[in-house]
Amino acid sequence: MADAKTKIDEMVKSKDVVLFMKGTKAMPQCGFSSKVAGVLNYMGIDYSDVNVLEDADIRQGIKEYSDWPTIPQLYVKGEFVGGCDIITEMTLSGELDTMLEHNGVTYDKDAANKIREANA
C-alpha cells in the first residue's frame, strides 16, 4: 500500500486539478462521479481523471490517503477538497469559484453562474 500512496501522491501533485472517480470524465460509472465530472466539464476546468475501478490499490489507497471513505474525491493544487456533496455545495455557494481563482485554476465563470441560476 506504500506503493499506492506514492503513486497517488504523484498523481495528486502532477496536475492542478485531479478527480479520483469511478469511470472516466467521458464515461463516469456512478452517479456521484458523474455529477462532479459534469460540474468540472461544464465549467471548462482542465483536470486529470483517475479511474479507481482500474486499480484496487488506488481505489483503497485514495481513501486512506485523504482519510475520506467515499469516491469521488477532488484535489486542487495537491489539496483534498471533498466528495460529491461538498463539491455540489461549494459550486452552489460560489466557494468553488473562489478556491479555483485563489489557486490560479482557469474556469468558465458564466458556466458556474448558470449552474447556480439553474439550482436557485
Burial classification of residue 61, based on how many CB atoms lie within 10 Å of its CB (0-12 exposed, 13-18 middle, 19 or more buried): buried
| Ligand-binding site membership of 84 (annotated) | no
Chain center to CA of 2: 23
Residue that the C-alpha cell 496536475 belongs to: 15
Residue type, 24: T
Known binding-site residues for [2Fe-2S] cluster equal 30
Known binding-site residues equal 30
